[in-house]
A and B are shown apart, each in its own frame.
Chain A
Amino acid sequence: MIFYEYEARKIVELAGIPVTKYGFCQTPEEARKIAEEIGGPTVIKSQVLTGGRMKAGGVKFADTPDEAAAHAEEILKLEINGHMPVGVLVDPKAEVKQEYYASVVWDGTAKKPLMLFSDMGGIDIEQVAEEHPDHVGRGHISNLLPVGDYEAKQVIAATGVTGSQLNRATPILAKLARLFRENDMVLAEINPLAELTDGTFVALDAHMEMEGEAEGRQKKLLRKELGIAEDDTRDSYVPSEFEKNVKEIDAADHRGVIQGKDHGFEGNLGLVIGAGGGSLTLTDAVRSQGGKPANYSEIGGNPSVAKACGLAKEVLKKDGVEKIAVMMSIVSNTRVDIVARGVIKACLELGKDPAETIAIFRIPGAWEDEGNKILDYYGVEYCDRSVSLWDAAGRAVAKIQGAS
């Protein structure tokens, strides 16, 4: 789950990291009120889950509460990269002496969280790392042992920062590392981390992302502290009808798993394929041989006839789909006959001839002979493991090209 800035700041605040006295609101009137309470120049920031806010006009400075309200009104209506804001954040305009960067990310190779710190904050850290590598400090933390302040100190000191700046930034980076671990984050970033003219440090902006698999055990933070609703999934795009329907069919029955995606696919060959790796391989194989997939899908874990049928039906109902290819890498758990039954049922229920509609059936493995009997009966072309995934995909493509 990706968090909005106002939520990320709250997470930072909960971890004991100083933030400015910001306020989140959803109307110009509330923005005015917050600006009045702040009592000085403010920054009005669009709350959207996309980058490039500044460029798009989603961040504006105001000298008076009236101006803050006017900016809020504009920003609340402003779409950025296809996203409408959920509100605005009203923040006191900070007197910044210097901007720093602090973050914690996963290092999959080391299998440990990695702390990053730079004294060149406010800009893209990848750019800093490339152009000024000596201004980026790095250090792994243990997954098991407590995070020591000294570990953060070492990372910061590596960038040449010393004096009171070092002593003020150290607990902030250490706290960020602890919150990363405790809250199952995959990204915890403060950029900029600002040193104000009075010498204090505050987080002026934060980006946080929590691992999806861990949301279940982070309910206290998500629901209680942040007030995020259970159904607020923050999908990066709106799921299509096809995707929603497949998800529903999958959820209706616990046996096996089906998944379907059609975001970015617009072809005429429906794919009823599996499993995880097989689906990736087959989608490539269809495309490389000139085929145009209408969708991506995955079958796995021995689904019921109803599930296989449901997926095939949804694929067949998609606009422009002329035929389906039913293909999987060798199965050991999923039963071939059950998938065969499911896809044939889908054709029949939609008034289509399975022999015409199913371009190819290539699922070798468990209960293969039983599956082949059913396919024979309906005259569906099938093949065994001696026909590679590449060739099976090629046959499907040839058939649909011959047909149209």
Chain B
Amino acid sequence: MSILLNKDTTFIVQGITGREAVNLTKECLDYCTKVVGGVTPGRKGREVHGVPVFDTVAQAIENHGSQIDGSIVTVPPGFTKDAVIEAIDNGIKLLVIVTERIPRSDVAQMVEFANMHDARIIGPNCLGLIVPEVCKMGGIGGPAKDASKSYKPGVVGVMSRSGGMTTEISSSLTAAGLGVSTAVSIGGDAIIGSTYAELMPYFEADEETKAIVIYSEPGGRMEAQLADWQAENNSRLPIVAFMAGKFMDDESMKGMTFGHAGTIVEGKEDSATEKIKRLESAGITVVERIDEIPDAVKERIGS
């Protein structure tokens, strides 16, 4: 089992003729994902690795003959909002936004529009999500053969603010024999479509998932939100967290951003130290070292 995706999930790629999008399309197709169309305005009639390209989302759906489930959005930042709203307006319910550097107000508008239409956004500034050996939506894990190396089916749900660390952590879980149920690169921006706490109910409902691993960074209140969620919901899922960027707690680093746009320590609450405290007080295991994750998961699920 899995969250958000399954073997029948169909999707399109908006901005499919871009260099990165062409690679991403091939990677997804090679991973047996159903990419049923692409959209680039003015490029109707082309093909990208055999995937037909259209001018509009509506044309792609018409060609497919039935509703399409999702869309990977890889258009430039200035056009992303329009593309996402076009997709949602055409009934698409799952959006993965790969694009970086989208102004916050645009992201917030897309999220509000998605909420009004019961659609879910993953990202922006993310690599998407993967259900090992079933489907991947986005560049997560890279080419199919590399993705197969890092991701094997298993019991751990992974959520990460860093795309690269999603794979690094999943690879260690795979090597430890635990495997991954679904891994989600949630994005590194200050405002994102789906936070840890917002994805928890999906993992909670997925029987296959036995534990959660999150990768966190300084900045924002997403970890506090997860701690609150965990305290309120008494989830069956043990959570193991790793917090990177502890060095940013140094006074000399105040007000600086490292890594992702969202990593800036503005108040006391968004520092690494403070977040670790909050997570731990909600019963979440916070490991000091990245390589301690698999053992911590085993201990929490008692295997």
- The distance in angstroms between the C-alpha atoms of A205 and B112, with both chains bound, is 32
Query: Using Cβ atoms and an 8 Å threshold, which residues of chain B touch A385?
Result: 150, 168, 171, 175
Interface string of A273-299 (1 = CB under 8 A from B): 011111111011101100000001010
- The distance in angstroms between the C-alpha atoms of A331 and B140, with both chains bound, is 10
Contact of A186 among B102, B104, B259, B289 (CB under 8 A): B104
Query: Does A281 contact B171, Cβ atoms closer than 8 Å?
Result: no
Given A106-B191, A181-B105, A211-B103, are A284 and B168 also a contact pair (CB < 8 Å)? no
Q: Which of B28-36, B50-58, B61-69, B214-222 contacts A (4 or more CB under 8 A)?
A: B214-222
B288 close to chain A: CB less than 8 A? yes
B146 close to chain A: CB less than 8 A? yes
The A-B contact count (CB < 8 A) is 166
Query: Does B105 contact A330, Cβ atoms closer than 8 Å?
Result: no
Query: Does A217 contact B289, Cβ atoms closer than 8 Å?
Result: no
B161 close to chain A: CB less than 8 A? yes
Given A280-B217, A330-B171, are A184 and B291 also a contact pair (CB < 8 Å)? no
Task: Across the interface, name the chain B residue whose C-beta is closest to A107.
Answer: B221
B231 close to chain A: CB less than 8 A? no
- The distance in angstroms between the C-alpha atoms of A157 and B161, with both chains bound, is 39
A261 close to chain B: CB less than 8 A? yes
Query: Using Cβ atoms and an 8 Å threshold, which residues of chain A touch B242?
Result: 281
- The distance in angstroms between the C-alpha atoms of A288 and B255, with both chains bound, is 22
A373 close to chain B: CB less than 8 A? no
B258 close to chain A: CB less than 8 A? yes
Query: Using Cβ atoms and an 8 Å threshold, which residues of chain A touch B222?
Result: 108-109
Query: Does A386 contact B113, Cβ atoms closer than 8 Å?
Result: no
Task: Across the interface, name the chain B residue whose C-beta is closest to A277.
Answer: B162
Query: Does B291 contact A391, Cβ atoms closer than 8 Å?
Result: yes
- The distance in angstroms between the C-alpha atoms of A78 and B241, with both chains bound, is 47
B48 close to chain A: CB less than 8 A? no
Query: Using Cβ atoms and an 8 Å threshold, which residues of chain A touch B255?
Result: 236
Residue total for B at the interface (Cβ-Cβ under 8 A):
63
Interface string of B74-95 (1 = CB under 8 A from A): 0001100000000000000000
B290 close to chain A: CB less than 8 A? yes
Query: Does B291 contact A213, Cβ atoms closer than 8 Å?
Result: no
Given A277-B162, A330-B167, A332-B167, are A298 and B259 also a contact pair (CB < 8 Å)? yes
Q: List 7 A-B contacts (CB under 8 A).
A: A111-B111, A143-B109, A261-B256, A276-B162, A276-B259, A278-B164, A390-B290
Residue total for A at the interface (Cβ-Cβ under 8 A):
51
- The distance in angstroms between the C-alpha atoms of A277 and B141, with both chains bound, is 15
Query: Does A264 contact B253, Cβ atoms closer than 8 Å?
Result: yes
What distance in Å separates the Cβ of A334 from its nearest Cβ neighbour in chain B?
9
Task: Across the interface, name the chain A residue whose C-beta is closest to B255.
Answer: A236
Given A264-B252, A275-B162, A276-B188, are A284 and B259 also a contact pair (CB < 8 Å)? no
4 nearest A-B residue pairs (beta carbon):
A332-B142, A277-B162, A388-B291, A264-B252
Query: Using Cβ atoms and an 8 Å threshold, which residues of chain A touch B111?
Result: 111, 143
Task: Across the interface, name the chain A residue whose C-beta is closest to B242.
Answer: A281
- The distance in angstroms between the C-alpha atoms of A38 and B190, with both chains bound, is 44
Contact of B258 among A113, A279, A331, A333 (CB under 8 A): A279
**Interface on B for A, CB 8 Å cutoff?**
77-78, 101-105, 107-109, 111-113, 127, 139-143, 146-147, 150, 160-165, 167-168, 171-172, 175, 188, 190-191, 195, 215, 217, 220-222, 225, 242, 244-248, 250, 252-253, 255-256, 258-261, 263, 288-291
Contact of B161 among A142, A217, A277 (CB under 8 A): A277
A309 close to chain B: CB less than 8 A? no
Query: Using Cβ atoms and an 8 Å threshold, which residues of chain A touch B191?
Result: 106, 108, 111
A62 close to chain B: CB less than 8 A? no
Query: Does A277 contact B108, Cβ atoms closer than 8 Å?
Result: no
- The distance in angstroms between the C-alpha atoms of A283 and B221, with both chains bound, is 23
Given A143-B108, A213-B77, are A275 and B164 also a contact pair (CB < 8 Å)? yes
- Given contact pairs A109-B195, A298-B259, enumerate 14 new A-B contacts (beta carbons under 8 Å): A106-B191, A213-B103, A213-B261, A276-B162, A277-B217, A278-B164, A281-B165, A330-B168, A331-B164, A332-B167, A385-B171, A388-B172, A388-B289, A388-B290
- The distance in angstroms between the C-alpha atoms of A389 and B165, with both chains bound, is 10
**Interface on A for B, CB 8 Å cutoff?**
106, 108-109, 111-113, 142-144, 181, 184, 186, 211, 213-214, 216-217, 236, 261, 263-264, 274-281, 283-285, 287-288, 296, 298, 300, 328-333, 365-366, 385-386, 388-391
Query: Does A280 contact B259, Cβ atoms closer than 8 Å?
Result: yes
Dominant secondary structure of chain A at its interface with chain B: mixed
What distance in Å separates the Cβ of B160 from its nearest Cβ neighbour in chain A?
7
Task: Across the interface, name the chain B residue whose C-beta is closest to A388.
Answer: B291
- The distance in angstroms between the C-alpha atoms of A285 and B288, with both chains bound, is 9
What distance in Å separates the Cβ of A110 from its nearest Cβ neighbour in chain B?
9
Query: Using Cβ atoms and an 8 Å threshold, which residues of chain B touch A391?
Result: 291
Query: Using Cβ atoms and an 8 Å threshold, which residues of chain A touch B146?
Result: 332, 365-366
Query: Using Cβ atoms and an 8 Å threshold, which residues of chain B touch A217?
Result: 78, 103
- The distance in angstroms between the C-alpha atoms of A389 and B244, with both chains bound, is 12
- The distance in angstroms between the C-alpha atoms of A181 and B160, with both chains bound, is 29
Query: Does A285 contact B162, Cβ atoms closer than 8 Å?
Result: no
Query: Using Cβ atoms and an 8 Å threshold, which residues of chain B touch A366?
Result: 142-143, 146
What distance in Å separates the Cβ of B13 from its nearest Cβ neighbour in chain A?
16
- The distance in angstroms between the C-alpha atoms of A277 and B248, with both chains bound, is 13
What distance in Å separates the Cβ of A363 from its nearest Cβ neighbour in chain B?
11
What distance in Å separates the Cβ of A136 from its nearest Cβ neighbour in chain B?
16
Task: Across the interface, name the chain A residue whose C-beta is closest to B161.
Answer: A277
Given A280-B258, A280-B263, are A111 and B108 also a contact pair (CB < 8 Å)? yes
Query: Using Cβ atoms and an 8 Å threshold, which residues of chain B touch A287?
Result: 246-247
Query: Using Cβ atoms and an 8 Å threshold, which residues of chain B touch A329?
Result: 162, 164-165, 167-168
Query: Does B104 contact A211, Cβ atoms closer than 8 Å?
Result: yes
Query: Using Cβ atoms and an 8 Å threshold, which residues of chain A touch B160?
Result: 277
